[in-house]
A and B are shown apart, each in its own frame.
Chain A
Amino acid sequence: MTQQEADVLVAHELRKTFKKVEAVRGISITVSPGERVGLLGPNGAGKTTTLLMLLGAILPDTGSVTIVGHRLPRHRSRAMESVGFAAGYLPLPDRLKVREALGVFAGWYGVRNEKQAVSEALERFEITHLADRLCNALSSGQRTLVGIVKATLHNPRLLVLDEPTASLDPDVALRVRTGLLQFCASTGAALLITSHDMREVEMLTERVIFLANGQVVANDTPAAIAATFGYDDLEGVFMQLADEARRA
């Protein structure tokens, strides 16, 4: 087995230009099985574009993405069987109850026993009481929670989360972080997460990739990156990079 086949995610030299704006300039990312990685950077750094390229929703101009040995875009469907995705800004299907919506996604992910998978996933994040609520009647925080449940239904090998706790109360956000850590530990899933909450990143991730102006500017453990930039934690690093990006 080659290293590329062993890693759950291998993105090589991704580049993306929208009209004349270079959003992503040669980003390479590798995530190993069970590894928890943070993708950080100030607004406009290219995080979301990168994530969407990793998920096959946007095609890179150049570069390649391979998930669990399946190259995108040709083998997107096979690759997505191993990926769970949730974003704080993404709603769920209108007019479906939470249980129904999760059942639909479980079916699309190829889960055999949909009802059991949905019940277990709701219990994991302690939101069984939302099962019979309509998705469009949920608060933004509840919707985010259900979105995370959706992403974990099929025990993916790679969990991709874009700002998952942005709209959550601190206590709910803590519950989500704890649930995610338990999920990754029990299933061996790898995690790739973007967040603006540096404490969350320090709690959840073992490695951090910092982006600025569409490029990787740091790739190491949170503590090592903070030390390299001369700070005690990631907050200072983030502030410095955001300031540099604004002036660039």
Chain B
Amino acid sequence: MSWHRIRVVVRRHAYVLWRAPHRWFDIGFWPLMDIILWGSLGTYVARNTTSATSGTPYLIAGIMMFHILFQSQIAVGTGFLEETWSRNLLNVLTTPVTEFEYLAGTAAFGLFKVLFALATLSITAFGFFRFELSSIGWSILPIALILTIVGWSAGIANIGIVLRFGQGAEILIWGSNFILMAFSGVFNPVDALPGALQPIARILPSTHAFNALRAVLDGNPLPGNEIALGVIGAFVMLLAGFAFTAWMLHVFRRRGFVTRFS
């Protein structure tokens, strides 16, 4: 493995972000819109309920933490898609860059996007709704770790699907986020899901991260069992993502699918 080549992958994607204003939407505009949407919804519901607990912090914290997963996933996914959009895949495949180095570079660049998006979310949430991300405390770190790894795993698996089924499957890069959002209990506990769907939600590591987040927002200590389940599950998901995409890449090379992208 070459750290230098990984750094060059990061640089390659930094150039693209710098020159593509619409890419800033992902890390600037959509986070802003999400905070406005979920913050306003929480405020409205709080005004019309007799409950002593406002739901607003749960919604805002939920969407903020979901953006960690979202940004991690699309950084890896669109990083790869950038090569297919510019028909550059064959150029990359004929350099010494290994699959792992390329994915590591896009994932590392994703961390920058996560930080930028979190900054946007934090400033907006505080400015509009007086919500402080620091209210979560250091608990944010293990929760963010789980969500980042889940995002990378989903992004890597999506690359495998695009390699196998072609660019038509790229809709999954965005679509998989909505699936994860619905099943991970971003805004609600798993028991609020229809009974038949709850087992699916419980096997997702991201669900345990959001369970932990809600516990912290309720004023409880960080639940170690949820974090442990989340971390273990996230690493299992990452390994599964790698294994799946390695298999798809083998199929891609065996069937000569590279000609689809060049």
Q: Do A and B bind each other?
A: yes
Q: List the interface of chain A (C-beta within 8 A of B).
A: 16, 18, 48-49, 52, 55-59, 73, 76-78, 80-81, 83, 85, 87, 89-96, 100, 103-105, 107-110, 134, 136, 150
Question: Contact: A58 with B94, CB < 8 Å?
Answer: no
Determine the residue in chain B with the shortest Cβ distance to A107: B8
Bound complex: CA of A80 vs CA of B98, how far in Å?
10
Q: Do B8 and A108 touch across chains, with their CB atoms under 8 A apart? A: yes
Residue numbers in A under 8 Å from B95 (CB-CB): 80, 105, 108-109
Q: How far is the CA of A94 from the CA of B226 in the complex (A)?
A: 43
Q: Are B11 and A107 neighbours in the complex by a CB distance under 8 Å?
A: yes
Docked complex Cα distance between A95 and B91 (Å): 16
For the complex, give the distance between the alpha carbons of A175 and B84 in Å.
31
List chain B residues, Cβ under 8 A from A95.
15-16, 19-20, 86
How many of chain B's residues have a CB under 8 angstroms from any CB in A? 34
Closest B residue to A23 using CB positions: B256
B residues neighboring A (CB under 8 Å): 2, 4-5, 7-8, 11-12, 15-16, 19-20, 82-83, 85-88, 90-98, 250, 253-256, 258-259, 262
A104 touches B8 (CB 8 A): yes
Q: Indicate which residue in A58, A76, A134 contacts B256 across the interface (CB closer than 8 Å).
A: A58
Main DSSP-derived SS at the A contact region: mixed
Please tell me if the beta carbons of A108 and B97 are within 8 angstroms of each other in the complex: yes
Q: In the complex, are the beta carbons of B15 and A57 less than 8 A apart?
A: no
- Nearest chain A CB to B76 CB, angstrom units: 17
Nearest-CB residue, chain B, relative to A82: B96
In angstroms, Cα B20 to Cα A81, docked, is 31
The residues of B that contact A56 with a CB separation of less than 8 Å are 93-94, 253
CB-nearest residue of chain A relative to B91?
A90
A132 to B93, CA, bound (A): 25
